[in-house]
């Protein structure tokens, strides 16, 4: 078993190359196109992939056969490579060439270098859940249970904490004191009640903690 480390990556301007224009390739393209530049290489493409290309969201490259030279050419500048054809031997060849070139591989039938987790996103809060391919159903089960805990109010608190933290840097010199203020805000029930009404009210209530420290 490979030893995986959970990371959050900024894929903006990074290139993701997917080999295979079927349902699996479509699913991968739909996920990564929100975060990276996606190219799909295949003999044929689903209607959805063709639609994404028309909208200039992804790039499609139509091929007949793929030699090692062709594969290497299409992998140029790729950050993540996804072999998703219906030919297992070809998938292995693509993965091998990518790995030899030092590129990350997201496999669809085995554990590669990259695993796409089950994701919960609430504003700037991002939580990834994975069982390392052992049980996708369990990942989904865990996600559904956690979603009930990660409420929209937490996303608002993230914004509130960030804005007040930035303001405190110019008003409170002691880092320990800044940390205490932010912690007190997070544990203030009045702030959480105000969040349910409006961000502006929550900010006003939270700001009282700054005044207390300056008295």
Q: How many Å from the N-terminal Cα to the C-terminal Cα in the chain?
A: 57
Both 101 and 139 in one domain: the answer is: no
Each residue's pLDDT tens digit, 141-187:
999 999 989 999 999 999 999 999 999 998 888 899 999 999 999 99
Alpha helices, DSSP H only, in 11-135? 23-32, 47-54, 68-74, 88-100
Strands (E), the chain: 15-19, 37-42, 59-62, 78-83, 104-105, 118-122, 125-129
Answer whether residue 212 shows pLDDT above 80.
no
Q: Please check whether residues 46 and 102 belong to one and the same domain.
A: yes
- For residue 129, with 0-12 CB atoms within 10 Å meaning exposed, 13-18 middle and 19 or more buried, which class applies? middle
β-bridge pairing 15-19 and 37-42: parallel
Last residue of a domain, one of 103, 130, 150: 150
- Whether 82 contacts 99, CB under 8 Å: no
Phi/psi at 99 (nearest 5 deg)? -65, -40
Query: Is 2 among the domain residues?
Result: no
- Indicate which CATH number applies to the domain containing 66: 3.40.50.720
At 215, the pLDDT band (50, 70, 90 cuts) reads very low
What number of other Cβ atoms are within 10 A of residue 38's Cβ? Answer: 28
In a domain, 187, yes or no: yes
- Pair 68, 141 in one domain: no
- Per-residue pLDDT reduced to its tens digit, 174-185: 899 999 999 999
Residues 103 and 133 grouped into a single domain: no
Same domain, 135 and 162: no
- pLDDT tens digit sequence for 54-87: 999 999 999 998 999 999 999 999 999 999 999 9
Does residue 207 lie in a domain region?
yes
Residue 213, pLDDT > 80, answer no
pTM for the full model?
0.84
For residues 165 and 82, membership in a common domain is answered with no
Same domain, 38 and 104: yes
Domain range holding 130?
117-150
Contact present, 160 and 185 (Cβ < 8 Å): yes
> What angle (nearest 5°) sits at the alpha carbon of residue 51, between those of residues 126 and 63?
100
Q: Does residue 1 have a pLDDT over 70?
A: no
For the chain, what is the domain count? Answer: 3
Domain check: are 97 and 138 in the same one?
no
9, part of any domain: no
């Amino acid at each position: 078993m490979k030893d995986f480390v959970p990371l959050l990556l900024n894929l903006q301007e990074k290139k993701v190359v997917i080999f295979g224009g079927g349902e699996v390739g479509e699913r991968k393209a739909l996920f990564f196109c929100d975060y990276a530049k996606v190219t799909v290489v295949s003999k044929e493409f689903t209607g959805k992939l063709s639609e994404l290309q028309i909208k200039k969201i992804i790039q499609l490259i139509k091929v007949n056969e793929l030699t090692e030279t062709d594969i290497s050419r299409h992998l140029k500048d790729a950050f993540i490579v996804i072999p998703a054809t219906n030919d297992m031997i070809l998938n292995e060849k693509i993965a091998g060439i990518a790995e030899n070139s030092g590129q990350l591989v997201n496999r669809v039938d085995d554990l590669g270098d990259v695993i796409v987790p089950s994701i919960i996103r609430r504003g700037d809060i991002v939580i990834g859940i994975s069982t390392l391919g052992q049980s996708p159903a369990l990942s989904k089960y865990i996600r559904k249970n956690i979603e009930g805990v990660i409420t929209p109010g937490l996303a608002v608190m993230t914004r509130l904490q960030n804005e007040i933290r930035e303001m405190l840097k110019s008003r409170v010199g002691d880092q320990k004191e800044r940390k205490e203020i932010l912690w007190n805000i997070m544990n203030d029930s009045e702030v959480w009640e105000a969040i349910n009404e409006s961000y502006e009210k929550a900010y006003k209530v939270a700001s009282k903690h700054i005044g207390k420290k300056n008295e």
